[in-house]
Amino acid sequence: MEILGLLTDGVLVSLMPINIILILIGVTLGLFIGAMPGLGSVNGVAILLPITFLVPPGSAIIFLAAIYYGAMYGGAISSITLGIPGASTAVATTFDGRPLALSGRASLALVTAAIASFIGGTVSNVLFTIFAPLLATVALAFGPPEIFALMLLAFATFVGLGGDDIPKTILSICLGLVFAAVGFDEISGAPRLVFFDITGFLHGINFLVLAIGVYGIGEMIWTIESTRGEITTTEARMSLKGIITDSKEGMRRGWKGTAIGSFLGFFVGILPAAGATPGSLMSYGVAKLMAKNPKEFGKGHPGGVAAPEAANNSASTGAMLPMLTLGIPGSPTTAILLGGMVIWGLTPGPRLFTDQPEFVWGLIGSFYISNIFALIVNLAFIPLFIWMLRMPFTVLAPLIFVLSVVGGYAATQDMHDVWLMLGFGFGAFFLRKLDYPLAPAVLAIVLGPIAEPTLRQSLLLSSGDATIFFTRPIAGPITIIAIILILLPLFKLIAGKMRRAGTTQA
């Protein structure tokens, strides 16, 4: 009951006129910041940080958190309407959101994304409110072996993304891991895989550059090639009745993905250095594994939109937990927020809840209000996004190209990355022509920079003994589950051959 009273006080703080105005402005700005390829919540919060010195510290953090919330919603917009991920957190949304838009069902994809985001945000808010101190302790128990085991589990869930062609899937993952290793070695500091001694590779390959190249430029080239230059438009329509119908269908077909994303996203989000991107990719993989018809994923299944969208919104709240309770940012955006708190004289950590209860519970209360406002603003702008889709592709193609180039440059402000993005676009087109799955490569370049250092740190801790991944109480069960999932396709293949052999003999 004490928590309920504190939460009520926090909601009342967030409902103060200045805070309500800041929340509304924040989620609206965040929606468009998230939808702009290459911008994302990190850049949006960083750019707008100086403005917050005009308001009290508590209101400033509420405003920045609202931008963060809005950006999580907004990332799905360009992923669905243009096939360009607005941010790395929305890459998995492209897998099914874009096929739905191309088939004239963009309304279903956008409504499903909005509702799943709302549910994911609500679930994570409740979990945050009830279990904050306990979950902070659990997150602190995750060392390098546990984080590597979790990354291995993420790879395991994505083995099935390539359909039945496991060798192509594994090759795609290996390709992504190679790109993830480009640049300076985190542990030794030595440069590696600096192709042709081009200095641009020294800073590594930015994930967003690869994602925009693969899903922006690659998708544009694929569409141009498949339509043979004919003028095409997407038959997308929108009405109030349509929103209600799409809401029902989206939840009927996507409830399982929403549930998986809401809980898994929050759990991954609270882990330091993990963030919403791995959470959304893992949730997509798990949702596909647990679906009745996994082969529908990647072709336009609402569950493939619901799972990552619920996960990235849930993870965004989860990432706030270690920041507030331990002073450890759970994502790049919360690292900016942490810096802002320090500037305003607020010290994150266990004592923050006792020393600054009005600030903490006001911020938690604002999560609930921001979530509601973000849903309303998102649904209100859906007709605008649908209108964009009705433009001829001869208009959309140059728009996609310009946004991709701007997004690729904005990520690092380096022309090397623009050329690299174009190269990834053409490479993705040819891989798609050869029927290679692209999603596992994207997963690998996201998780590679997390998996490799934690693997090496774990082996350093154990003096090279790999049993550390099996003997630790948290890492052990996760590693075993991951190995079972990796070997599952092999077991299915053997069982299928045995059945066919039995049928032939009969």
Query: In which element (H, E) is residue 294 found?
Result: none
Model pLDDT, residue 468? 92
Model pLDDT, residue 231? 47
Model pLDDT, residue 136? 60
Nearest of 10, 254, 248, 265 to residue 127 by alpha carbon? 265
Model pLDDT, residue 76? 83
What does the alpha-carbon distance between residue 216 and residue 411 come to, in Å, rounded to a whole number?
15
Q: ∠ CA(20), CA(32), CA(27), 5° rounding?
A: 15
Where does the pLDDT of residue 180 fall: very low under 50, low under 70, confident under 90, or very high at 90 and above?
confident
What does the alpha-carbon distance between residue 408 and residue 410 come to, in Å, rounded to a whole number?
6
Domain that holds residue 270: 2-505
Q: How many helices (H) and strands (E) does the chain have?
A: 22, 2
Handedness of CA 167, 170, 175, 176 (dihedral sign): positive
Q: Are 71 and 44 in contact (CB under 8 A)?
A: yes
State the total domains in the chain: 1
Model pLDDT, residue 237? 55
Instruction: Reply yes or no on whether the pLDDT at 161 is more than 60.
Output: no
Pairing of strands 183-184, 191-192: antiparallel
What does the alpha-carbon distance between residue 67 and residue 162 come to, in Å, rounded to a whole number?
35
Where does the pLDDT of residue 211 fall: very low under 50, low under 70, confident under 90, or very high at 90 and above?
confident
Where does the pLDDT of residue 49 fall: very low under 50, low under 70, confident under 90, or very high at 90 and above?
confident
Mean pLDDT to the nearest integer, 119-141: 79
Most confident of the ranges 53-62, 153-162, 305-314, 336-345: 305-314
Can you state the angle between helices 439-461 and 166-180, rounded to 10 degrees?
A: 60
Instruction: Reply yes or no on whether the pLDDT at 24 is more than 80.
Output: yes
pLDDT digits (tens, 9 = 90+) for 467-489: 899 999 888 998 998 888 778 77
pLDDT digits (tens, 9 = 90+) for 61-102: 888 888 888 888 887 888 888 777 767 778 888 888 888 888
Nearest of 437, 430, 399, 402 to residue 418 by alpha carbon? 402
Where does the pLDDT of residue 409 fall: very low under 50, low under 70, confident under 90, or very high at 90 and above?
confident
User: What secondary structure does DSSP assign to 399-457, as a single string?
Assistant: HHHHHHHHHHHHHHS-HHHHHHHHHHHHHHHHHHHTT--SHHHHHHHHHHHHHHHHHHH
Mean pLDDT to the nearest integer, 6-23: 86
User: Cα separations (Å) of 238 from 60, 114, 246, 380, 454?
Assistant: 36, 15, 10, 11, 47
What does the alpha-carbon distance between residue 357 and residue 7 come to, in Å, rounded to a whole number?
10
Model pLDDT, residue 402? 81
Q: How far is CA 414 from the centre of its chain?
A: 24
Where does the pLDDT of residue 310 fall: very low under 50, low under 70, confident under 90, or very high at 90 and above?
very high
Q: What are phi and psi of 192, to 5 degrees?
A: -140, 150
Q: How far is CA 74 from the centre of its chain?
A: 12
Is 443 exposed, middle or buried (CB count within 10 Å of its CB: 0-12, 13-18, 19+)? buried
- What residues does 184 pair with on adjacent strands? 191
Most confident of the ranges 94-108, 350-364, 375-389: 94-108
Convert 325-353 into a string of H (helix), E (strand) and C (coil). HHCCCCCHHHHHHHHHHHHCCCCCCCCHH
Model pLDDT, residue 159? 67
Whole-number average pLDDT of the chain? 80
Q: What are phi and psi of 181, to 5 degrees?
A: -85, -5
Nearest of 303, 291, 388 to residue 100 by alpha carbon? 303
pLDDT greater at residue 51 or residue 10: 10
Mean pLDDT to the nearest integer, 287-305: 84
Residue with tokens 């290679």: 436
Query: In which element (H, E) is residue 201 found?
Result: none
Residue with tokens 């077909």: 253
Q: What are phi and psi of 184, to 5 degrees?
A: -85, 135
What does the alpha-carbon distance between residue 97 and residue 165 come to, in Å, rounded to a whole number?
23
pLDDT digits (tens, 9 = 90+) for 227-276: 665 544 455 555 566 667 777 887 888 888 899 999 988 888 877 656 67
Residue with tokens 């440059």: 409
| Cβ count within 10 A of residue 321 | 26
* Buried b / exposed e along 185-206 (16+ C-beta atoms within 10 A): eeeeeeeeeeeeeeebbeebbb
Q: What residues contact 155, with CB distance under 8 A and at least 6 apart?
A: 173, 443, 444, 447, 451, 482, 486
Mean pLDDT to the nearest integer, 316-321: 82
Q: What's the whole-model pTM score?
A: 0.75
Where does the pLDDT of residue 162 fall: very low under 50, low under 70, confident under 90, or very high at 90 and above?
very low
User: Cα separations (Å) of 456 from 73, 151, 304?
Assistant: 35, 13, 33
Nearest of 120, 124, 164, 82 to residue 388 by alpha carbon? 82
Instruction: Reply yes or no on whether the pLDDT at 308 is more than 60.
Output: yes
